[in-house]
């Protein structure tokens, strides 16, 4: 097993619906190919622009429930009537190889991951304003009016959990938000706690 300082970081990027998690993570994926991105499983219908196995692992509700019972998911949650889950084995294997893993995930899922991986890096994306968030949700042109109203009704509740995270980033400009996330990752790599397994850390001699 790799020493702690060489193991990958679990980076959880979350925030309210419409804040731009997918856009920021797409930019990170292009600019930082050294990062691994977890692919979630979901029961929601596939959109025309999405590819199975790349955007999500699309499956029926029945298959999802069987996999859940078998402990195949790191976390799972029901969001807006659909089930989402993170394949546990893939995340753990990647971290053990020393590669950082990014989870772009909803708030419910992020809080469940925190219970299992409290040592993870939890980043909350904020919109520049609530008005801007509403504009983004309405402007995506991929949800029904009922879904849009429901997402908007959840905003205050979603924002209220921000204290469960270690970091907050305002997603005004995608490039700036991605740069701040990368800076957080670099800083986390330098935490003292990641070096305490080294032999020379134990010391034994004192200076006079």
For 113-146, the pLDDT digits (tens) are 998 889 899 999 999 988 888 787 777 666 677 7
Lowest mean pLDDT among 20-34, 60-74, 133-147, 151-165: 133-147
Residue 207 maps to a domain? no
Q: Residue 86 belongs to a domain with what CATH number?
A: 3.40.50.300
> How confident is the prediction for the chain on average, in pLDDT?
88
Q: Residue 22 annotated as binding? A: yes
Give the residue, 190 or 130, on which the prediction is more confident. 190
In a domain, 203, yes or no: no
Residue 7 predicted with pLDDT over 80: yes
Higher pLDDT residue, 116 or 174?
Answer: 174
202 inside domain: no
Is 17 annotated as a binding-site member? yes
Please list the alpha-helical segments (H only) found in 40-191.
61-69, 88-96, 107-116, 130-139, 145-153, 155-159, 174-189
Q: Would the annotation count 53 as a binding residue? A: no
Antiparallel, parallel or unpaired: β 10-14 and 36-37: unpaired
**pLDDT tens digits, 34-44:** 999 998 889 99
19 marked among binding-site residues: yes
R_g (Cα) of the chain, nearest Å: 19
Query: 22 and 169 in contact (C-beta within 8 Å)?
Result: no
Q: What is the pLDDT of residue 203?
A: 61
pLDDT band at 200 (very low <50, low <70, confident <90, very high): low
Poorest-pLDDT segment among 3-12, 13-22, 95-104, 129-138? 129-138
- Was 98 annotated as part of a binding site? no
Global pTM? 0.80
Which pLDDT score is estimated for 208? Answer: 57
Q: Which residue has the higher pLDDT, 112 or 171?
A: 171
Query: Per the structure, how many domains does the chain have?
Result: 1
Domain around 128: 4-196
Structure confidence at residue 151 (pLDDT): 76
Distance of alpha carbon 77 from alpha carbon 86, whole angstroms? 10
d(CA 87, CA 75): 8
């Amino acid at each position: 097993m790799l020493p702690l300082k060489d193991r990958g970081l679990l980076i959880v990027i979350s925030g309210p619906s419409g804040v731009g998690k997918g856009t920021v993570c797409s930019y990170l994926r292009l600019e930082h190919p050294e990062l691994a991105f977890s692919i979630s499983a979901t029961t929601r219908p596939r959109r025309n622009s999405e590819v199975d196995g790349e955007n999500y692992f699309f499956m029926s509700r029945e298959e999802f429930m069987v996999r859940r019972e078998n402990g195949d998911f790191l976390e799972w949650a029901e969001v807006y009537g659909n089930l989402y889950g993170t394949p546990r084995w893939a995340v753990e294997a990647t971290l053990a190889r020393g590669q950082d893993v990014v989870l772009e995930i909803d708030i419910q899922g992020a809080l469940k991951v925190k219970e299992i991986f409290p040592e993870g890096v939890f980043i909350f994306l904020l919109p520049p304003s609530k008005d801007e968030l509403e504009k983004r949700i309405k402007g995506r042109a991929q949800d029904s009016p009922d879904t849009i109203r429901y997402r908007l009704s959840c905003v205050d509740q979603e924002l209220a959990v921000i204290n469960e995270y270690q970091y907050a980033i305002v997603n005004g400009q995608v490039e700036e938000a991605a740069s701040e996330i990368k800076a957080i990752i670099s800083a986390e790599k330098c935490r003292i706690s990641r070096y305490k397994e080294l032999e020379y850390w134990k010391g034994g001699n004192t200076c006079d």
